[in-house]
Amino acid sequence: MPEVKGLTIMVPKTTDAKALRKYLLGDLSSEGQEAFELWLMSEDEAYDLVLAAEDDLIDEFLAGKLSPTESQQFHDRFLIAPERQRKLEFSRMFREYADRKTVPATAALPAPTRSFWQELGAIFRLQPAFGAVSVALVLLMIGGSVWSGVTSSRLQNRLDSTTTVLHEVETQRQDLQLRLAEIQATSKQLASQLALMDEAVAELKSAGVSGGVIALSLSSILPRSSTNLPTAQLTPATRLIEFTLPLLDDNYPSYSVVLADDGGESLGNRQRRTAKSKDGVKVVVVTMPSKDLATGEYSFKLSGITSADSTEDIAEYYFRIR
């Protein structure tokens, strides 16, 4: 707070528009004026605010908003300064210009509301830097979206491709499972048949009915047309026929035997038969129920099963049933 030889000068910290207006119209008390002038001398923005208040007062005068007393003060005091007269002259012209450039407001209408786009436009016009930054940001966002879209599309394509492969693999897996199930079913069926036959053999053996089984040794050397084909003479007591198929060499871990009629049509088969030694000769033994064999000519087709599970034809054995 300033002091001159013990005199303390009070400086108002703020001033308001009303006080400014009164000061400009010379309507403040002497003390009020002096306090106001101290504020004007010391505050940074005070001078600019006084200039702005002068503009406002002139505008109010031109708009006819001043009271009669104020108008008188405006004439008698405010307009003494030539600079203010020039301001008034300019303001009149500027007001006319502004009225031409903007849509006049209707007093009865509520405060103007601007749309989002108008607000945005106003911000861009008033703050070009902000506008430039905003445009840059929007461009960046568009670029980012495009890049994101392209990347997303690529990823989607890859995902689609992977999904297709997975689908194919799944289909293959299902096919294999189906085939495995079929093989397992066949295997069970065969195992069941074998078990039944084994039971029958055991039953017969236990019953001591040796006549119920006929043993027939076959030869692969004899052709179908041979008159000396091995022949099984079935009797009503005959239940089973045990066929012995001699091997020239035992070169396979197991063998398969397919029974066919004289027309070559398959009637049944036996899988995974292993060779046995019989009287010093390697043979494959196959037992068939006699009821499955009617009178006629038949053949066994013998194949070797390799360790790689492939089959190789070895020989054919022809025989007759009577």
Partner 1 sequence: MSQMLKSSSALGFPGSRRYNGAQRKAVAPNGDLRRLRSLSSTYPKPDPDEITQDQLNLLLDWLDPDREKAGIRYEQIRRRLVKIFVCRASNVPEELADKTINRVARKLPEIRATYVGDPAHYFAGVAVNILRETVRKDRIPAIGMPESSPATDDREKDYSCLEKCMEKLDPGDRSLVLDYYREEGQAKIDNRRQLAEQLGIGLNALRIRACRIRSDLQACMEKCRAEGAEFAK
Beta carbons of 50 and 19 less than 8 angstroms apart: no
Residue with smaller CB distance to partner 1, 37 or 250 = 37
Where does this chain touch partner 1 (CB under 8 A) — which range of 21-29, 141-149, 282-290, 307-315?
A: 21-29
Record the tokens describing residue 170, joined without a space: 């799944």
Q: Rule CB under 8 A: choose which of 66, 88, 229, 260 binds partner 1.
A: 88
Q: Rule CB under 8 A: choose which of 9, 133, 178, 180 binds partner 1.
A: 9
* DSSP-derived 3-state class of residue 282: strand
Q: Rule CB under 8 A: choose which of 19, 70, 87, 302 binds partner 1.
A: 87
The CB-of-41 to partner 1 minimum distance in angstroms stands at 4
The CB-of-140 to partner 1 minimum distance in angstroms stands at 22
Strand arrangement, sheet containing 311-321? 231-232, 311-321, 296-305, 254-261, 266-273
Beta carbons of 307 and 320 less than 8 angstroms apart: no
Q: Could you say whether residue 2 binds partner 1 (CB under 8 A)?
A: yes
CA distance 319 to 288: 13
Q: Could you say whether residue 182 binds partner 1 (CB under 8 A)?
A: no
Q: Could you say whether residue 308 binds partner 1 (CB under 8 A)?
A: no
* DSSP-derived 3-state class of residue 128: helix
Q: Could you say whether residue 117 binds partner 1 (CB under 8 A)?
A: no
Helices 46-62 + 30-42 axis angle, to 10: 120
Q: Rule CB under 8 A: choose which of 19, 21, 24, 273 binds partner 1.
A: 24
Q: Could you say whether residue 95 binds partner 1 (CB under 8 A)?
A: yes
Q: Rule CB under 8 A: choose which of 29, 45, 67, 223 binds partner 1.
A: 45
Beta carbons of 257 and 270 less than 8 angstroms apart: yes
Q: Rule CB under 8 A: choose which of 27, 32, 59, 234 binds partner 1.
A: 59
Cβ neighbours of 55 (radius 10 Å): 13
Q: Rule CB under 8 A: choose which of 27, 32, 49, 271 binds partner 1.
A: 49
User: Which residues face 289 on adjacent strands?
Assistant: 240
Report residue 213: phi and psi, to 5°.
-125, 130
Residue with smaller CB distance to partner 1, 19 or 293 = 19
Where does this chain touch partner 1 (CB under 8 A) — which range of 33-41, 179-187, 267-275, 306-314?
A: 33-41
CB neighbour list of residue 224: distance below 8 Å, 6 or more residues apart: 262, 297, 299, 318
313, amino acid identity: D
How many C-alpha atoms does 42 have within 13 Å on its Cβ side?
Answer: 15
The CB-of-142 to partner 1 minimum distance in angstroms stands at 25
Contact characters 183-222, partner 1, x per CB under 8 A? ----------------------------------------
4, amino acid identity: V
Report the interface residues with partner 1, using CB under 8 A.
1-5, 9, 11, 23-24, 26, 33-34, 37-38, 40-42, 45-52, 55-56, 59, 63, 75-77, 79-90, 92-98, 101-102, 105, 107, 109, 111-112, 114, 119, 122-123, 125-128
